[in-house]
Amino acid sequence: MPATARFDLKMDAEEKAIVARAAALMGTTMAGFVRTAAKEKAIALVDRESRVTLTQRDFGALTRALTGAFKPNRALKGALREAAAKVRRA
């Protein structure tokens, strides 16, 4: 796929030197190295942040909450009464 979007990046001389060395070791250009590294890091981050990890105890609590009978608490009952008083049905 041809690259059509542009992204400019500024770095100090030390950062540029280490990126240039790493790119040379990989046998690629600096742009190619930075593009590949950024994409790998972005994919890993999005993957990690798109998932919820629960302990066995928390998973059990969630399962019980989702499958158990619904019992509204006092605050919810009050909110429902307040909403019913404000909303008129046609």
Does residue 6 lie within any of the structural domains? no
Global pTM?
0.59
Structure confidence at residue 90 (pLDDT): 60
Does residue 72 lie within any of the structural domains? yes
Best CA proximity match to 72, nearest among 81, 63, 64: 81
Best CA proximity match to 11, nearest among 3, 2, 24, 20: 20
Output DSSP code: residue 57. H
Structure confidence at residue 3 (pLDDT): 76
The domain tally of the chain equals 1
Does residue 71 lie within any of the structural domains? yes
From CA 34, how far away is CA 83, in angstroms rounded? 55
Does residue 65 lie within any of the structural domains? yes
Taking only the tens of pLDDT, the chain with its 90 residues reads 677 888 899 999 999 999 999 999 999 999 999 999 999 999 999 999 999 999 999 999 999 999 988 889 999 999 999 998 888 776
Does residue 64 lie within any of the structural domains? yes
Domain limits for position 60: 13-86
Structure confidence at residue 44 (pLDDT): 97
Does residue 7 lie within any of the structural domains? no
Does residue 60 lie within any of the structural domains? yes
Q: Count of CB atoms within 10 A of residue 65's CB?
A: 9
